[in-house]
Chain A
């Protein structure tokens, strides 16, 4: 049994110049990057990696190590991005591994029609991420009501709570308006939209509460207009922040909406 396995990053249309460019890259675990061609113009972007790092049991264990996961995710992304800068790429999900290049080529052959269709659909497009945050701290606090001698401390406390609640509700209503503006920008400039789960937890470091985490597939030449329109959606809305990420390779649009497990895919 070979001590090397084949890690694949994405599917693309191959040519000599791309193969040449890839030789300069470092992939996951610093492995060199190469193309696995099907002989008909399609290719997988791949690295040979040590089997001991990527066999199932090792992978399960390592994926629980945030440093390792982060390094592999960034390396995977670096390769996808380098290919995307040159030509259309269909990114594959993290940690797709085959026993060898021959096995990977079989999968490429089997999916030929699907890959060709997807590459055609994604050509000339990039993905932009749009996140909306409700951040009441970014909105001016309403002035505290004057102390009312008539009120018991309990009632006075409740009144304060109600004011805070109203302040939060106002920010959420503003976020709703911003979301409508973003959707309008999407209808005007984007070909597709995908919805991601809102970001929570320790890796979600941005201030405020993430209420929208969407991705839009936008023709390259419309990117600037789309982003300007998205930024305008939050203009003048207190307590709402819009954050744009990208341009990304079309990760969120690699699968058809019918195949996505609900996290990404066409929104309702």
Chain B
């Protein structure tokens, strides 16, 4: 089986530079989780998510981490 020759975008696959955020969605929350000998699996991924918050999210109570579980945000102005 081969992947289809047609593309969502017009560029060929080889030139398609995927966005890092789309890749991280898949590599950090998709994929089979096996318990490795270096334990950064399930529990470790949470650790990774925490670390990544500093990089991926400009830390502010307004912006929950894309990797954190949804949580109630304190102290937000009601802008309605």
**Interface, chain A (partner B; CB < 8 A):** 5, 8, 11, 54-56, 59-60, 63-64, 66, 69-70, 73-74, 76-77, 81, 84-88, 90-99, 103, 107, 111, 118, 123-124, 126, 128-129, 165, 194, 196-205, 213, 215, 220-221, 223-224, 227, 244-248, 251-255, 259-264
Inter-subunit contact B27/A77 (CB<8 Å): yes
**Interface residues, chain B, with chain A CB atoms under 8 Å away:** 1-4, 6-8, 13, 18-42, 45, 47-48, 51-52, 54-58, 63-67, 69, 80
Q: State how many angstroms separate the Cβ of A58 from the closest Cβ of chain B.
A: 9
Main secondary structure of the interface of A (DSSP, over half): mixed
Contact of A263 with B29 at beta-carbon distance under 8 Å, contacts A205-B19, A220-B4 already known? yes
Which residue in chain B gives the minimum CB-CB distance to A84? B3
On chain A, the residues within 8 Å of B22 by CB distance are 129, 245
Smallest CB separation, B71 vs chain A (Å):
13
Closest residue on chain A to residue B22 by CB atoms:
A245
**Contact A56/B8 with A93-B45, A200-B57, A259-B33 known, Cβ cut-off 8 Å:** no
Quote the shortest CB–CB distance from A184 to chain B (angstroms).
18
Sample of 5 A–B contacts (CB below 8 Å): A198-B66, A203-B56, A205-B19, A245-B19, A254-B30
| Secondary structure call for the B interface | loop
Cβ–Cβ contact B30 & A264, under 8 A? yes
Q: Contacting A94 at CB < 8 Å: which of B8, B28, B37? A: B28
A194 to B26, CA, bound (A): 11
List chain B residues, Cβ under 8 A from A247: 3-4, 7-8
Is B25 a contact of A213 with CB atoms below 8 Å?
Answer: yes
Checking B1, B34, B58 against A107 with a beta-carbon cut-off of 8 angstroms, the contacting residue is B34
Which of A73, A201, A254 sits near B63, CB closer than 8 Å?
Answer: A201
Report how far A200 CA is from B52 CA in the complex, Å: 13
Bound: A248/B66 CA distance, A: 21
Chain B residues within an 8 Å CB radius of A93: 27-28, 30-34, 41, 45
Question: Given the interface contacts A98-B37, A126-B4, A247-B3, does A203 sit within 8 Å of B20 by beta carbon?
Answer: yes
Nearest CB on B from A220, distance (A): 5
Cα A221 to Cα B5 with chains together (Å): 10
On whether the beta carbons of B37 and A264 are closer than 8 Å, the reply is: no
B27-A96 in contact (CB<8A): no
Q: Would A194 and B4 count as touching, CB distance under 8 A?
A: no
Most A-side CB within 10 Å, residue of B13, B45, B64: B45
CB distance from A87 to the nearest CB of B (A): 6
Bound Cα distance A95, B47 (Å): 13
Closest-CB distance, B6 to chain A (whole angstroms): 6
Contacts of A165 in B (CB 8 A): 80
**A101 vs B1: C-alpha distance in the bound complex, in angstroms?**
27
> Residue A92 contacts which of B2, B21, B32 (CB distance < 8 angstroms)?
B32
Known contacts A245-B22, A262-B69, A91 near B31 by CB under 8 Å: yes
Please state if A85 and B8 are interface contacts (CB–CB under 8 Å).
Answer: no
